[in-house]
Amino acid sequence: MTSSSNCFFLVSMVVSLLFFLEFTSTMASTKDIYAICNDPSAINKTFCLQTLTAYPPAVSAKNMDELVRVTLDLGTTLAKERAGFVAGLKKEATFKKYFETCNDSYSQVVNYFESARSQIDEKPHGKDGASLIILESSDYTQLVKDTIGKNTDKTSKRLMEMTLVMEDFIHIAFAAINYY
Ligand SMILES: *[C@@H]1O[C@H](CO)[C@@H](O)[C@H](O)[C@H]1NC(C)=O
Ligand SMILES: *[C@@H]1O[C@H](CO)[C@@H](O)[C@H](O)[C@H]1NC(C)=O
């Protein structure tokens, strides 16, 4: 071989290796998403797969630890969206009775997700702490359900739907922490 074909060979090897690494790291994340979603505590596997595969940071997570962290971040984002929705209801007359409970509840859910996320890196019991915190957050989604679940107005129904999704996501987060 001439030195230029040697060089070409070397460059193609490096390029293939990079593609291979890229490919395997993508595969690792898909495998990890399946591991979490197949866990019985994730409860709704279909919802879990749909949610995590639609979230780019989860799909591009390099390993399981990163996937767990971004899953908790997604929980914070979902909780903040709901807190924002509730904040927008402050002036709605029909919602007045429910506002304070729902507003407090969702700010608690945001806090719980943020603190689970910061607990997780703490050794040696951060993982247990994070699991407990995520479990406790479901007391607050339950409180929202108890507060507005029987209402028939459009706003309550919308918040109820959002709360059921939040609750499903809490199961995913709980399952994910087991794999950290
Ligand atoms: C599970 O999630 C899917 C997708 O969100 C939904 O269509 C289905 O109704 C859910 N199943 C249960 C039992 O909640
Ligand atoms: C909603 O709850 C948070 C936390 O409890 C509080 O800081 C905020 O002032 C409340 N929002 C409104 C509009 O009352």
Q: What ligand 1 atom has the least distance to the C-alpha of 44?
A: 1
Task: Yes or no: say if 95 and 126 are a contact pair by the CB < 8 Å rule.
Answer: no
165 Cβ below 6 A of ligand 1: no
103 Cβ below 6 A of ligand 2: yes
CATH code of the domain containing 70: 1.20.140.40
Band of pLDDT at residue 97, cut at 50, 70 and 90: very high
Virtual CA dihedral for 124, 128, 133, 139, nearest 10 degrees? Answer: -160
Q: What separation in angstroms does the CA of 132 have from each of 64, 93, 138?
A: 20, 36, 10
Q: Residue 81: which domain range?
A: 2-179
What pTM value is reported for the model? 0.86
- pLDDT, position 124: 85
Q: What ligand 2 atom has the least distance to the C-alpha of 99?
A: 14
pLDDT digits (tens, 9 = 90+) for 101-159: 999 999 999 999 999 999 999 988 899 999 999 999 999 999 999 999 999 999 999 99
90 Cβ below 6 A of ligand 2: yes
Total structural domains within the chain = 1
Virtual CA dihedral for 72, 176, 120, 131, nearest 10 degrees? Answer: 100
